[in-house]
Amino acid sequence: MYGRGGFVANANVLAYGQRSSGTLLRSQDGAHWQTQYREPNGEAFSGVAYSGGLFLAISGGSGTIYKSSDGLVWQPSGAAMPKTTYRPDGYSYGDPAMALGLFQYYDTAFRGAFSTLGTWKGSFYMAGGEGMLLQSGNTWNPATLLPIGTDSAGFKFSYTQQTDVPYRILTSTNLTIWESLYAGVGSGQPTNLTVAPSPGCPQRFFRLVSP
């Protein structure tokens, strides 16, 4: 998963006879990776997602969700995928024999990674056992657009769009028909834009939309 100038990936280290160890890795170039976080309960991470300056990672067994603003420093978010109901401990198992407890050693040592995580247009989506599907609210904050003034170069205004959120600046002469003037991705910092005068057009309107 790419965001905030780097790549973040989930990995799982499995040693025979021991519980798995979930880790989150980060890379600047996609070739060299460093471990940034280890799942405190030793569970495997089953998904990483990014949107609007926020990384989320989910542990496969318990569904615990962790968050980071840069992919470097992680902490529990306080949220989790609800546990399933057909096991006393609330976990899901992929092997029916494991679910029935026929192999007690593996039943206690390994847990199935059923929870997954993704994003779409500013919302995070989680999928888990028993057909559970959860959706967050839209995490993309409204952008700001402020006029600066006019001079010989044209009309100037400043806008601020949330980090890594796509946007378009539209223009219209009648508030009915809109044309795309510029498209980009937010930096989280104020950005200035100058629009050259349009001959024969006494007035123009501008708006910023996403995406």
Q: Share the mean pLDDT of the chain.
A: 82
Cβ(145)–Cβ(206) under 8 Å? Answer: yes
Interval 105-159: pLDDT, tens: 344 434 444 678 999 999 999 988 778 889 999 999 999 999 998 888 889 999 9
**Is pLDDT of 50 > 90?**
yes
Kindly state the average pLDDT of the residues 65-85.
88
**Is pLDDT of 88 > 80?**
no
Residue 108 pLDDT: 40
**Is pLDDT of 103 > 60?**
no
CB burial readout 101-125, b (16+ within 10 A) else e: eeeeeebeebbbbbbbbebeebebe
Architecture of domain 144-209: Sandwich (2.60)
**DSSP conformation class of 95:** S
Q: Which residue ranges make up each domain of the chain? A: 2-135, 144-209
Residue 145's Cβ-count burial label (10 Å; 0-12, 13-18, 19+) is middle
Q: What is the pTM of this model?
A: 0.78
